[in-house]
Amino acid sequence: MRKLFLGFLAIAAVTFTSCSDDDDNNTVPTTRNLTLDISGLENLGSDYKYEGWVIVNDAPVSTGVFTVDDSGNLSQTSFPVESNALASATKFVLSIEPANDPDPAPAATKILAGDFSSNSASVSSTGIVGDFSNSAGKYILATPTDGDDNNEFSGVWFLDLTSGTPATGLTLPTLSAGWKYEGWAVMNGTPVSTGTFTAVDSADDNATTSTFKGDVNNGPGYPGEDFIQNAPMGLTFPTDLKGSTIVISVEPDPDNSPSPFTLKPLAHMVPSNANHHETLIMGAGPVAAISGTVTR
C-alpha cells in the first residue's frame, strides 16, 4: 500500500507540473490603459487620422488611432497597451497618418512628443514641429504681377522694404520633416492661401502656378500672392486687403484641407490706413503650440 501511495503522488506531481506549464504557455498578455488629455487638435477629415506611439527600446509601438471632431473632441482617449511595453516606454509620440495606411511605421508628420517621467508624459508640438517663440514677420501690400500702380492693395508679400530694397520679411524656424509653412489672407472671414513654403527667402511653391496672379514672371523671390483674378466664390478680385487678416500657419505635408491648420504662429490685421509698399509688422498668432498630458 505504501508503494502504491507513493506512486500515486508521483503521478499527481507530474500531472500538476504539466498542467502548470500549459497554463504558462497560454498566458494572455495583460494590458494597461494609456490615457490622452490633449486639446487643440483639429479634424483631419476622412483622409487622415491621428495615431499614438510609445517608444520602447528605441522602437515605436502603436497605441492606437483616433479622430477629432469639429469641436476638438477626441473619438477615443483611453487605449489598452501591452503592460510590459507600456511600462518600458520612454517617450510618447503622436503622428498624422493616412486613413488607409499600409505602412506599419510612423509617418514623418509628427505633431506631439514628450518623455515619460514616472507614469506621465507632458507632450508638446514645440520640440517636434518647431519652436515658434522667437518668430517674427513683416510684409507689404503690393501687386508686382499686375504692373506698376495697378490694384496695389490687392497683393501681400512677406518681405521687408524698410531699407528701400527687398529683404527677408519672416523669421521662422526650420520645420521638421512632414511640415510646411503657408501664408493666408483672410478676407471677410474666408481664408485664401498665398502659397506654401519652407524657405523664407525664396519664392513659394505656387510662384509660377497660381491662378490668382497676373504675370507670374514678375513676382519677387519671396512668399506672397497677388489676388488679381479667379476669385473664390463669394469674393471679388482685384480686392483691397485693408481690414483683412494676414496669417502664417504651419501645415501638415501632404495636406488635404483648404483651410489653415491649428498652428498659426504669426498673424496681423491690415490697418485701415495702411499704405501700399509700406512695411507692416506681424504679431503673435493665436496658436503657437499644442500641448497635453499622456498617462500610463
Q: State how many domains the chain has.
A: 2
- Whether residue 148 sits in one domain with residue 113: no
Tell me the pTM.
Answer: 0.88
Q: Is the pLDDT of residue 287 over 80?
A: yes
| Residue at which a domain ends, from 92, 124, 156 | 124
- Whether residue 145 sits in one domain with residue 268: yes
- Phi first, then psi, for residue 4 (nearest 5°) are -60, -40
Give the tens place of pLDDT for each residue, 54-69.
999 999 999 999 999 9
What would the mean pLDDT of 236-250 be, rounded to a whole number? 98
Q: Is the pLDDT of residue 282 over 90?
A: yes
Q: Is residue 4 part of a domain?
A: no
- H-helix or E-strand containing 25? helix 2-25
Q: Is residue 64 part of a domain?
A: yes
Q: Is residue 248 part of a domain?
A: yes
Q: Is residue 227 part of a domain?
A: yes
Give the Å distances, CA to CA, from 79 to 49, 66, 115, 200.
15, 10, 18, 40
Average pLDDT, the chain: 91
Give the tens place of pLDDT for each residue, 97-152.
999 999 999 999 999 999 999 999 999 999 999 999 999 999 999 999 998 899 99
- Whether residue 111 sits in one domain with residue 177: no
Domain coverage including residue 245: 136-287
Q: Is residue 144 part of a domain?
A: yes
Q: Is the pLDDT of residue 1 over 50?
A: no
Classified as helix, coil or strand, 189 is: coil
Supply the pLDDT for residue 279.
98
Give the tens place of pLDDT for each residue, 147-174.
889 999 999 999 999 999 999 999 999 9
Give the integer Cα–Cα distance in Å for 67 and 211.
33
